[in-house]
């Protein structure tokens, strides 16, 4: 099996450096025509320059590939629309969207201004939403699309001093969970990448020896499996330093309490039982939880539903 992107057009946001640059170069090396999007700001979202994106385009072109640069702010609907229009004007389709652009404004919650919380949410959540919305109908009409959200262990598991970043990164998982249902019949697959790599955003957070192992290229190897023709749908792939794993949200089988038993004291008393992992399962849409609980109640009370 060889993964190829011949004939595909990809937009990679935040592709002027770090993971985005690595993703863009690898997609181009395997045949994709690539839009290298980067506002050119620093890790905190300050400033802006097109030079980084243009440098990546030159790397791709020097290697024999095709690429264009675009400096759209992913939070600006008009700028994103312009990026999508220029892509369609040049290549006539958009097959892949890699939502990679991001910022950090780390502080403990008690010291964090709400403005910093909102800014990080805007970039990671609304930036992802804005770019995805701009390509969604194009992908529906061409009956093909591959979209990757960038989540994080900070969102999946928590990380001290990153309440804003963690909230944003878990939000895009929820976004994926619904879009993969809505896009399935149009051959639009939506997945999440949870990366760990040595980039501007991780400088100072890890020892240098650890950073040396944590190459962007090791993460990109995982990314490439999430956006080709045979990509999965609704997968959270964790990748870093050559390690790859699937992150899954499971729900335990749980317990049932009759109406006269439904008190907080009885719920608390049943915590060990409702926490029992035996029989736990991955639910792939919210209605499954509803039917599980209704089924337990109906069976216990002898009530016929449906």
**Strands (DSSP E) found in the chain:** 9-12, 33-37, 67-70, 96-99, 145-150, 188-196, 236-240, 243-247, 250-251, 281-282
| pTM of the shown model | 0.94
Rounded Cα distance, 288 and 3, in Å = 34
Please choose, from the candidates 288, 256, 297, the residue with its C-alpha nearest in 3D space to the C-alpha of residue 274: 256
What pLDDT shows up at residue 160? 92
The residue among 210 and 96 whose pLDDT is bigger is 96
pLDDT in tens, 119-160: 999 999 999 999 999 999 999 999 999 999 999 999 999 999
Contact in structure between 16 and 73 (CB atoms under 8 Å): no
- Counting Cα atoms < 13 Å in the Cβ hemisphere of 138 gives 23
Structure tokens of 50?
A: 């097109």
pLDDT > 70 in the chain, percent: 94
Q: Of the CATH numbers 3.40.50.2000, 3.40.50.720, 3.40.50.2300, 3.40.30.10, which one belongs to the domain with range 9-247?
A: 3.40.50.720
pLDDT in tens, 219-275: 999 999 999 999 999 999 999 999 999 999 999 999 999 999 999 999 999 999 999
250 beta partners: 282
Rounded Cα distance, 181 and 175, in Å = 10
Active site residues: 165
CA distances (Å), origin 41, targets 49, 74, 196: 7, 12, 21
196 beta partners: 240
Rounded Cα distance, 56 and 60, in Å = 6
pLDDT in tens, 4-41: 999 999 999 999 999 999 999 999 999 999 999 999 86
Rounded Cα distance, 128 and 124, in Å = 6
pLDDT band at 42 (very low <50, low <70, confident <90, very high): low
Rounded Cα distance, 138 and 159, in Å = 37
What pLDDT shows up at residue 33? 99
Dihedral, CA atoms, 273, 157, 146, 287, nearest 10 degrees? 30
CA distances (Å), origin 140, targets 105, 166, 192: 35, 30, 20
Rounded Cα distance, 293 and 204, in Å = 46
What pLDDT shows up at residue 204? 66
């Amino acid at each position: 099996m060889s993964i190829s992107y011949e004939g595909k057009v990809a937009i990679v946001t935040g592709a002027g450096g770090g993971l985005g640059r690595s993703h863009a170069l690898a997609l181009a090396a395997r045949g994709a025509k690539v839009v290298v999007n980067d506002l050119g700001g620093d890790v905190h979202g300050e400033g802006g320059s097109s030079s980084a994106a243009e440098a990546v385009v030159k790397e791709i072109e020097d290697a024999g590939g095709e690429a264009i640069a675009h400096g759209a702010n992913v939070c600006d609907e008009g700028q994103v629309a312009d990026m999508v229009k220029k892509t369609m004007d040049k290549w006539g389709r958009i097959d892949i969207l890699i939502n990679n652009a991001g910022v950090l404004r780390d502080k403990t919650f008690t010291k964090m201004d709400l403005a910093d919380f909102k800014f990080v949410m805007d970039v990671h959540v609304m930036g992802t939403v804005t770019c995805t919305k701009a390509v969604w109908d194009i992908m529906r009409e061409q009956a093909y699309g591959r979209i990757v959200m960038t989540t994080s262990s900070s969102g999946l598991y928590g990380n001290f001093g990153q309440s804003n970043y963690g909230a944003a990164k878990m939000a895009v998982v929820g976004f994926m969970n619904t879009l993969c249902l809505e896009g399935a019949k149009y051959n639009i697959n939506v997945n999440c990448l949870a990366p760990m790599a040595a980039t501007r955003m991780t400088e100072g957070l890890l020892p240098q020896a650890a950073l040396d192992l944590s190459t962007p290229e090791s993460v990109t190897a995982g990314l490439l499996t999430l956006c080709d023709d045979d990509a999965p749908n609704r997968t959270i792939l964790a990748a870093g330093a050559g390690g790859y794993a699937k992150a899954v949200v499971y729900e335990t089988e749980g317990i049932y309490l009759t109406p006269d038993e439904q008190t907080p004291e009885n719920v608390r008393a049943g915590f060990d039982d409702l926490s029992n992992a035996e029989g736990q399962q991955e639910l792939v849409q919210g209605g499954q939880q509803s039917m599980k609980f209704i089924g337990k109640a109906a069976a216990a009370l002898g009530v016929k539903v449906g």
